[in-house]
Structure 1
Amino acid sequence: MTSSARHTEGMRMMNGLRETGLEITEDGKPGRPLVVLDLDELHGQSPETVTATAAAIERALPLTIGLLRTPLPPHLSPISAALTLTLTDVPGSELAYQVVTVPDIDGAIRTLDAAVARSPQAALACGQLLRQTVRLRTTAALAAEAATYSMLLGGSEFATWLAERGPARTTDQPAHDLVRSSRTDDHLTIVLDHPQRRNALSTRLREELLAAVQVAEADPSIESIEISGTGPAFCSGGDLDEFGRATDPVAAYLVRLDRAPWNVLDRIADRLVVRTHGACIGAGAEMAAFAGTVLAAPDTYFLFPEVRMGLVPGAGGTVSVPRRIGRWRAAWSMLTGEPLSAEAALRWGLVDRLTVNGD
């Protein structure tokens, strides 16, 4: 490709971004929530074109996905940084936070396209939210997440998921505490103890966890805190049988701000170790990511199912997870709902160390 042809290609892609809105239909559905850019076509672009293209991507409302089948040239880094994420099949790209390495780019695009097509409103909200939360302090970022989550509770995509789920079950609550705390010298142990529900984050368990971590925050003589879970899983996410109970989005927003432990977890992070095993889904992965140290048993897997439900992660995950793995890889995991193994989580930085036999 000649220099003139490369310039023309770069301008075409930039102008396409400028002209691409969401194409919202009368019922509020975005007709074009996803734009795919081939970064290999931008090799050799002038610094001015690269800067202008990156700026256009930053302003774009659709999710913007880059495709890269060759190593990323350093001068294209501003474009890669501006994108929602970049997919590549180039080995050795694991250290680039902006890049998700996949075995098959075409298959990965199909996966992403199908996920976004199912819940385009939630997917767009998630993509925009991740761009905001990485730039905000914790409280402001959590407020942005709570507002987005609460808004989506009243949306048609969440209503569709509720209808597909069917009637919620009524389950008996155990008489014992769902969160146990014990102190030995200057160490506080907090255990999620509802194994029958795989430690799902019900309202009651959330309140008990909040109380436990507030004690840890208030007592500076507690020098280390460990959170773990009993049974087959650390935490299987929010209690699905409680989903759909909130009828007032504003009240839901205020509850998420005032009665969630995420802010406290962030403030005690330098003293906090979270020990994960088995399913670490949704809220389980999100709260674990706040810890200064995250340990994972080999059977641990992480998964973010909220976008498929017509929501966004609502347990602080759009704040905690990008801080560990970058907003680009967070976007891939949250938009697609693809599981992340303990080994992959270690490579990405979501986990600090794998444990063997409970060490």
Structure 2
Amino acid sequence: MTDAPRPAPSPLSSAALLEMAAYGDGLAASPAGAAPYLVCRPERGLAAAEADRIAAWLRERPCPVVGLGGADADPQILAACDVALESEAALPGLLGAIAAAPLAAMVLAQVLRVTEAMAVSEALVVESLAFATLQDGPEFRAWLARRPPMALDADPGPPLRLERDGDRLLVLLDRPARRNAVDRRMRDALVEALALALADDSVAEVEITGAGRCFSIGGDLAEFGGTPDPATAHMIRMLRSPALALARVARKLTFRVHGVSIGAGVEFAGFGRRVTARAGASFQLPEVSMGLIPGAGGCVSLPRRIGRQKTALLALSGRRINAATALAWGLVDAVEP
């Protein structure tokens, strides 16, 4: 695998896509081929059956498909792409990020495609299995080898603080010294708190916030790679899944985020019925650059909030977006001072 810069390819036209759908392209657009992505500019003008054929073919590609939109773009073909861009300005950065982790990028695109219409509980199983596959892959192993040594947190204090205020349960992520990184203890405490909220009909609202400078920087990197094998890691995610617990209590769920939200911090909030952000908040999904995909429920929560294509753009690019962009995308429902 390489992250060497590649020249941006010429976008494929609808006619070229139709020919490739008919005769195939081998492994040219795949992690094993000339480029681990496919870029197209699908103009209008094809018959409906031809557009159907191209759309179905694009959803089978073993790589992310990037479509360039605009007024002349075929909406059906563009909707089948994994990412839709209005202009080519963001294309080089996006393609460079895909080329740096082509296996993770491929798996992300495939997971988002197949889980789009699934029930949440079933989609979370697919996400976890895909995450487990990548945990034993060369890209994640290379990231682990580059990571500097990190000490586990020895703080014995509770990772969550719970407070009852009438019919509201207030949940505070309380590891401010670690920027509310989600470790095993916080994961288990969050699952237990949400189980309580689900079982207690007198709890009408669950409000989740974070202590300190930010909401959460996501999974505690000191624990990454700490499970004995990917199969066991999948089992643990199925038995102690904050994502599934959040989905079950979603109708009661409000998030108030501030500062940075990274990885699981974004993915958890995606399950909220309502999400508000402070004006200086920012959001980022860096997992693909680590050789992984969002594995804390983000492949399921975020497409249902902002759509599959924006989720793919956020995860594949690894870009950090501000509160105004998050509001425009629908990632948050309101921005507060």
Global fold match (TM > 0.5): yes
Deviations 1:300-328 (A, max 9, x none): 11100000000000000000000011000
Listed as ranges, the matches of 1:213-292 within 5 Å are 213-292=194-273
Distance 1:186 1:43 in 2: 54
Any residues of structure 2 matched to 1:63-212 within 5 Å, and which?
63-68=64-69, 70-72=70-72, 76-89=74-87, 105=88, 107-173=89-155, 175-212=156-193
Q: Please say if residues 64 and 83 of structure 1, whose CA atoms lie closer than 8 Å, have aligned partners that are also in contact.
A: yes
Q: 1:219 to 1:170 in 2, by over 3 A?
A: closer
Q: Between the two proteins, what is the percent identity of the paired residues?
A: 37
Q: Deviations over 1:118-177 (max 9, x none)?
A: 10000000000001221110111000000000111111100111111122324322x321
* Alpha-carbon shift at residue 268 of structure 1 (Å): 1.2
- CA-CA distance at 1:24 after TM superposition: 9.4
Q: What is the CA–CA distance in structure 2 between the aligned matches of 1:292 and 1:59, rounded to whole Å?
A: 33
SS at match of 2:209: strand
1:136 aligned counterpart, secondary structure: coil
SS in 2 for 1:294: strand
Cα offset for 1:23?
5.1
Distance 1:57 1:48 in 2: 14
Using the TM superposition, give the Cα deviation of residue 72 of structure 1 relative to its aligned residue in structure 2, in angstroms.
4.6
Aligned to 1:102: none
1:33 aligns with 2:14: no
Taking the aligned partners of 2:166 and 2:102, their CA distance within structure 1 comes to 51
Matches within 5 A, 1:9-48: 10-17=14-21, 19-22=24-27, 29=32, 31-39=34-42, 42-48=43-49
Alignment equivalent of 2:330, drawn from 326, 349, 358: 349
CA distance in 2, matches of 1:29, 1:47: 32
Q: Does the alignment pair 1:299 with 2:297?
A: no
* Contact 2:29–2:38 (Cα < 8 Å) also in 1: no
State the alpha-carbon separation in 1 of the partners of residues 235 and 50 from structure 2: 44
| C-alpha contact 1:265 1:287 (8 A) present in aligned 2 | yes
Query: AA paired with 1:167?
Result: P
User: TM-score, normalising length from structure 2?
Assistant: 0.92
The aligned residue for residue 93 of structure 1 is: none
Question: How far is the alpha carbon of 1:216 from its aligned partner?
Answer: 0.5
Q: SS where residue 90 of structure 2 aligns?
A: helix
Q: Is the partner of 2:153 in helix, strand or coil? A: coil
In 2, Cα distance between equivalents of 1:247 and 1:29: 29
Describe the SS at the equivalent of 2:144: helix
User: What's the C-alpha RMSD, in Å, of the aligned pairs?
Assistant: 1.9
Check conservation: 2:283, 2:320, Cα contact below 8 A: yes
Deviations 1:233-288 (A, max 9, x none): 10001001111112311110011111121111111111110110001000000001
Q: Amino acid of the residue matched to residue 126 of structure 1? A: L
Corresponding residue SS for 1:59: coil
Q: Answer yes or no: is the 8 Å Cα contact 2:204–2:252 preserved in 1.
A: yes
Q: Distance in 2 between matches of 1:121 and 1:31?
A: 14
- Residues 21 and 180 of structure 1, relative CA distance in 2, 3 Å threshold: farther
SS at match of 2:279: coil
Q: Which amino acid aligns with 1:71?
A: A
Residues 161 and 309, structure 1, Cα contact 8 Å, conserved in 2: yes
Question: Does structure 1 retain, via aligned residues, the 8 Å contact 2:151–2:222?
Answer: yes
